[in-house]
Homo-oligomer: A and B are copies of this chain.
Amino acid sequence: MITNVATFKALGDPTRQQILAMLAGRDMTIGEVVDHFDMTRAGVKKHMKLLEAGRLISVKADGRERINSLNREGFKSVMQWVSYFDQFWDDKLDALASLVEQEEQK
């Protein structure tokens, strides 16, 4: 319940969200990603590193190229963390239901 911080941090940037959307279309090398942005290769590389740290992408070497693809782990981790709070909303609704019942009995 603490390591997902890297994942959320990675998601808290519009550029990185865009990169993820692109990778949902197809796997890409950093070079290909760079072509879609007005930014240095080194700049993009930094974003990729953060995405990888958040386990949102994974990299596979192929010759001198590195293929970047979406990594399900990060997404799963986000889903799980947020799901933890579902219980909270359920309880709230239960409490609300009880209140309504009490009101009706008056």
Contacts and interface: CB of A to CB of B under 8 A. Distances in A.
Interface of A: 1-2, 5-6, 8-14, 17, 20-21, 24, 70, 72, 75, 78-79, 82, 84-85, 87-89
A99 to B, nearest CB: 16
Q: How many identical subunits does the complex contain?
A: 2
A24 B85 contact: yes
Contacts of A85: 20, 24, 70, 75
Contacts of A79: 79, 82
Nearest to A25: B88
A84 B20 CA distance: 11
A75 B92 CA distance: 15
Given A1-B17, A8-B12, A82 B89 contact: no
